[in-house]
Amino acid sequence: METMKAVIYEDVGKFSVKQVPIPKVEKGTDLLLRVDACSICGTDVHILSTPPGVDAKKGIVLGHEMVGTIIDKGSDVKGYNIGDRVVIDNNVPCGHCEECQTGHYNTCLNMNGKGVDDDGVFAQYCVFPASCATKVPESLPDDLAVFCEPVNCCMGGIKKLDTMLPGQTCVVLGGGPIGLYYMKLLQLKGAGKVIVSEISDYRKKYAEEMGAYKVVNPLKENLAEYVKKETNGYGADIVIDAVGTLLNDALACVRRSGTILLFGLNGNAKQTICQSDIAMNNLTVQGSYIGHFTFEPTVKLLSSGIVDFRNMITHRLTLDDFGVGLEAMRKGEALEVVLYPNKESVE
């Protein structure tokens, strides 16, 4: 039996890099992909936390952000050829529940999350349904295509901000990778000022270099006061929580009749809010979970050249060095960690 190298979720807080069988095309709609590049997400860090912030199935291959090449396909696959480069939506909806049938596949009741519920992409090869694949042009390099999955999730949130107008003031809570994607997407959408809240000096540097209007450390400065000072006392038109624990901070920063977008996820975090703050201030509070018909636009965005996130790659590693990248992310000493499963060394 042919084997490949993969990162396996063994138990709470534990992983291994070991040889496992190479998956095979078993269904007519399957694609077998060589993983050319993949990246460590905050979700992977949450899975390997103690206790886990995200519950994953023990024994699976971890990872869900990738770009790869088709090396085999099922007999029913149409529109894809061996040798095509693709990016993958790791969330596989069932297609038959009421959520899927009404067009809300991102909230499928039977969602199968690759890298969480089933084998993911931290391996030399992986199998996905062709329905999850989106082709990428040859002009889009692996180091940029690997961003498609997380940027797609942010594009799903941006899509919800349909009342946003050019020139409006926005606040992004959290200056990690997700917060920085949102910052750039808001700027492309016409935001006048994008203020980023971030406590890490390491991340602050990246936010400033990428064009944040101002990066505020809320441990050293009153964020709400600063935002109101910049908006003639009104508050921000839009506030995005990219962390998952900062609804009260969002409420303090947003203007009356403004919008709060909740994106960050932390299953262990609990908050106490005053509901009347939302009602009396006529606020719109929206949740956003993964992308919703936004993968193709994301590929077009990254292929266009109008935005480039490769400066956020702080580590390029082999699969054997997954633990090095994970630890750097845990310590806040990394932004984007990209792995190359089919390379023995990375320059």
Q: Where are the domains of the chain?
A: 3-147+309-340, 154-287
Sign of the CA dihedral running 163, 169, 173, 179: positive
Please report, in tens digits, the pLDDT of each residue of the chain (347 residues total): 799 999 999 999 999 999 999 999 999 999 999 999 999 999 999 999 988 888 999 999 999 999 999 999 999 999 999 999 999 999 999 999 999 999 999 999 999 999 999 999 999 999 999 999 999 999 999 999 999 999 999 999 999 999 999 999 999 999 999 999 999 999 999 999 999 999 999 999 999 999 999 999 999 999 999 999 999 999 999 999 999 999 999 999 999 999 999 999 887 788 999 999 999 999 999 999 999 999 999 999 999 999 999 999 999 999 999 999 999 999 999 999 999 999 998 87
User: Looking at the domain that runs over 3-147+309-340, which CATH code has it been given?
Assistant: 3.90.180.10
Active-site annotation holder among 46, 64, 292, 315: 46
Domain 154-287: state its class.
alpha beta
Amino acid identity at 85: R
Q: Active-site residue 298, yes or no? A: no
Active-site annotation holder among 3, 29, 43, 314: 43
Q: In what order do the strands lie in the sheet with 284-287?
A: 214-216, 193-197, 169-173, 236-241, 254-262, 284-287
What is the pTM assigned to this prediction? 0.94
Q: Active-site residue 64, yes or no? A: no
